[in-house]
Amino acid sequence: MPLLLRTVKQNRWFKAEAKPFLANGDVPADCLGDMSTSENLLSVWELEENRSNLERVVRAVVIGRNNIENMGYIIFDSSVLAGVGIEILNNPGGSADSGANVWHRDLRLSGNKMVALVKAILESGEEAGQILKLHMKELVQQGIDQGELPQHLKKKL
């Protein structure tokens, strides 16, 4: 099953910090803040099997933010979705990187399903990672140079 990526603030997803919550069948409330939905849809990105598009999809999110900054993310197997009854939709993304938008997916959530998803990610997902700001700026510059990103993004660098 393909891997999915969601951008988050890494320091809200430390596994060791979540352990006491999970032990009580619960989740840290702060994680839910990183799962903001629109029309009950949560934006995620599908990774290639070799993860070759990881940096590109994270970059696609960052370029839509105010500043090119470091960006955290979590990765989880899409197989967890079936376990909690979450539907995955092949909706293309709306980022300024049109080449990356094909990897975009939406997850249809309810409140209970969101909590169940966070729990599943904390239990069986990977540790949260992060791309540092300096590298992110290199990635954006590279994207502009290679024509993957629009020139106007230069002003954010």
Partner 1 sequence: MGPKDSTDTSIPLSFVAELDELTEASTSIPPTPTKSGLVMAKIILSAAMFASDTIFTPRGFKSGFIAPYMIESSTAISVIDPQLKQEVRRLFDQGAYEFFQDGMSSPFSQSLLSMLALHGQDALRAIADYLFTGKAKPDVVSETLRQIADHGDRSNLAQRWHILERTLKDNSPRVRDGAILGFAALDDPGAQGLLLEARTRENIHELRVLIDQVVAQLGRTR
Structure token digits, residue 33: 């803040």
Nearer CB in complex with partner 1: 9/108: 9
Q: How many CB atoms lie within 10 A of CB 115?
A: 18
Between CA 68 and CA 61 the distance in angstroms is: 10
Between CA 104 and CA 91 the distance in angstroms is: 6
Structure token digits, residue 16: 């060791």
Contact residues: partner 1, CB under 8 A: 7, 9-11, 13-17, 33-34, 62, 65-72, 127-130, 132-135
Nearer CB in complex with partner 1: 70/142: 70
- Report in angstroms how near the CB of residue 57 gets to partner 1 at its nearest: 14
- Report in angstroms how near the CB of residue 82 gets to partner 1 at its nearest: 27
Straight-line distance from the first to the last Cα atom of the chain, in angstroms, rounded to the nearest whole number: 36
- Report in angstroms how near the CB of residue 34 gets to partner 1 at its nearest: 8
Nearer CB in complex with partner 1: 61/117: 61
What is the amino acid identity at position 59?
Answer: R
- Report in angstroms how near the CB of residue 81 gets to partner 1 at its nearest: 24
Structure token digits, residue 23: 């032990």
Strands 71-77 and 41-46: unpaired
Nearer CB in complex with partner 1: 14/51: 14
